[in-house]
Amino acid sequence: MLPKPGETRSLAVTYRVTRREVRTDAAALTARTRHTTYDKHDPDYLLYTRPEMLIETHAPAIIALAANLKRGNDGPYLFARAAYDYVVDHTEYVSPSPSHGAVQCLSLGKADCGSYTALFVALCRAGGVPARPIAGCWAQGENQWHCWAEFLIPDVGWIPVDPSAGDRGTKQRAYYFGNLDSNRVSLAKTFNLTVDTTKGSTDLGFAQVGTWWWYPAPGSTGSQMTVQHLLLGKPTAR
């Protein structure tokens, strides 16, 4: 039952999550991917290079910048690194974000993790490299929502990237391209979600609970929703 005005409802969900750090070999991937080509008829290529809401791959400014970043960067790995470096160098972290999506992030140069991610993904896609955003959260804490990204290399797989975390310092910048810490949970590997129901298709837009808490939906009272993640058991060493 939904709460009435002024009331509060609590919902507790217990789930088991396995968290692992991801690390890649930058030198090996650089050498291996210099002459990589994509099958442009592959369903994953078509899906993850298309424009969509918040990831405006077709925008002239995004296309021009992606083309410029590709010059001198042979292969998808080096191009994705150039896109990552551009986002980190030209974006200032601000929350709540004044920009929503890749185009606004590029224009304003100020964003939260979601728009950092949107710009990186849009640049990759515009340059012909499949990429996708991830909406998730840090593993512990209250309303710890976070977004990052992945790009695809044939015969290698999805490579993790976290542009906003990489903007925290020199060590973080080096680490968060190709590597990912274990202190996070992936909730949706998309920004936009459409749900088919018996009453028709419903577009939920940005697929992250955190955005419903931070940016009230049209017609809402603006009340905050608090989501807290608690560690109930001892981590298992692996």
The DSSP 8-state label assigned to residue 235 in this structure reads: P
More confident residue, 146 or 12: 146
Q: Would you place residue 237 in the very low, low, confident or very high pLDDT band (cuts 50, 70, 90)?
A: very low
What is the predicted pLDDT for the residue at 197? 62
Q: Per-residue pLDDT averaged across 37-56, rounded?
A: 95
**153 in the same domain as 217:** no
Please give the pLDDT value at position 218.
Answer: 47
pLDDT band at 102 (very low <50, low <70, confident <90, very high): very high
Separation between Cα atoms, residue 56 and residue 101, nearest integer Å:
8
Does residue 221 sit in the same domain as residue 106? no
Tell whether the model's pLDDT for residue 119 goes beyond 60: yes
The predicted structure's pLDDT at residue 12: 75
Structure tokens at 111: 């964003």
Instruction: Count structural domains, the chain.
Output: 2
pTM (2 d.p.):
0.84
Q: What is the mean pLDDT of the chain?
A: 85
In terms of domains, do 43 and 141 share one?
yes
Q: Residue 219's domain spans which residues?
A: 192-229
